[in-house]
Structure 1
Amino acid sequence: MQLHWRAISEDAPGPKWAGLFHQYWPDYHRWWAREGASARPGYLDSRKALRAHMPELVPIYDQLVELSGGTDHAARFLSFYCPPPYLSGCSQAIWPGAEPMLVRNYDYSAKAFDSLILRTNWQGRAVMGTSDGLWGLVDGINDAGLALSLTFGGRRVVGEGFGVPLILRYVLQTCETTAEAGRVLARVPTHMSYNVTVIDAKRKFLTALMAPDRRTQITHQAVATNHQDRVEWSSHARFTATVERERYLLQRLTLHVESQDKFVRAFLRPPLYSPRFDEGFGTLYTAVYRPRARQMELRWPQAAWPLDLHDFREDTRIIYTPEGRAAAE
């Protein structure tokens, strides 16, 4: 298997973003409307919810809707309000050394993945991260040195709220510290259960256990996989080995402090690294965030791609999984 990655920078919403939208929209539209458009909230309700919970994003949202062509379905999709359910299997942890560092694996279907790093300067706040839904993020960092990432929380409950990638975008657009991020994560409703780990340049960190049917728990957990306080979806837990991955990471944190590189390399091997690409839960990438340096790095077993928020360079990469490289050769 191979993934065609791109790193794209555009300070304000403009032609680059519009081009991306029109390229990705047919696939996203099929996903968004798979249960029928009537299953999703209408435009007025979607924009009202966005204005109520994330008002600072409304001017950006309006710009993106216009760039998308302004259709009803595109506007409703871009609100991220009550989207269709989606699942992932991921691992994330805070390195126990003195330097702030967040490492995460993103385990998901390659067929439903943007393979896109976006660097923006919307409203004067520089942000870069891994795109989802073309303005949401599954992980990212901003110019204040705030970094965060998400994992699926391992629960089947679906409720009224936003797709979590837009919540991550909102945090990075409006917050500078972990404490500020925690307050946002505690109040913005999510449509499914997710664990969001946040770290800032002073190495303050938290993990928010978010859910649509109960209050968000703000914890000091340095590790998150695909369950919350306890396993509530046993078949998903077995399939993703969420408990085994959590135990493995917790054991590493209780040993003597490893070097940064050794800690990162652990994410590139089982049990953290997943080769289950045919089942939609392969590890598409490992991301390393260094808040003080305002840098991120994407890692794979046979490749690395460093990116700098203040020296961001547009580029493209073709990344093979080990299985895909063997097939290509």
Structure 2
Amino acid sequence: MITVSLCMIVKNEEDKLATCLDCLKDLVDEMIIVDTGSTDRTKEIAESYGAKVFDFEWTGSFSDARNYSFEQATCDFIYSADADETIDEENQERFRQLKEDIDELNIDVVQMYYCNQLSHNTVYNYDRELRPKLFRRIRKYVWHDPIHEMIKLDSTVCNSEVEIKHNPTEDHGQRDLAAFRRAIREGEYISKRLHNMYARELYMVGTNEDFMLAKEFFEESIEDNGRDLDQIKEAACVLAHIAVIDGKAEEILKYSLKDLTTIPSSEMCYELGSYYRNKGDLVEAIVWYYNAAYETSPILDIHRGGDMALHKIAECYREMGNLEQAEDYENEANHWVVPDPG
């Protein structure tokens, strides 16, 4: 059976840490807890579970802290966890079985299902999706990106049936948006993955002010020859949203054409619907909201291709005095569910 090092980075997690470690104490062979500046009982709680606790001066990068935690590990595999995660008894048993089975397999990385993703305005579009969680230590995996950090995988990966429940107790949206702005100010290159996440986070939790503060970055991005079509479309959606806020028709036309000349996105159709609704043209607004809901697919925020667009159609019909149509679309919106990504 393989041995497993638990590696975590924490700060002021006294309310959640014990619950997390209770789930893991019989699954892992070593606990590495890297603290980035707690002022509560976090370190004391970690030590009560026999964890090796290390202090790490915060650099502004989650990847730096995670890489440091991995450097302290000594077991065969490393399990990366956050304090707001739990594993129930059924999945603890799956984890134990995995530890036995993996010995006979040439596996470097194991993915597990991350569940309850849509709580507290997380940046993710699906409630259950696979994430790499268990890593063979000798491969020396390195975390990348200062926020929404990830490990680049170029090795043998397998998918498990282990499910991890994410239990966020606070909305990190504003913290994350501030971190994006800080990284840009400090000259950090925003990778394709982070470009997508910045745009997604704006759409999901951003205020009008957040969009305005992002305007310069996405204006530069949309003109950057190093960005691919996906990133240009993401930037176009963000900039079109800003143009709708400002009521600038020429800019809405400019950015919508960058999206609509390829495969149109739900987000851009939604923005056009909002523009026409603001202008008082409810019939045209319904056309574009309908396109967002039924004729296109989202690239950033799945809700703009679903319940949000349907609610807007209902609101337009209600303003037009067509209460029957409004009720139909309102009912459809209220019963809309996030589609299964599989």
TM-score > 0.5, shorter chain as reference = no
Higher strand share: 1
Normalized against structure 1, the TM-score is what? 0.30
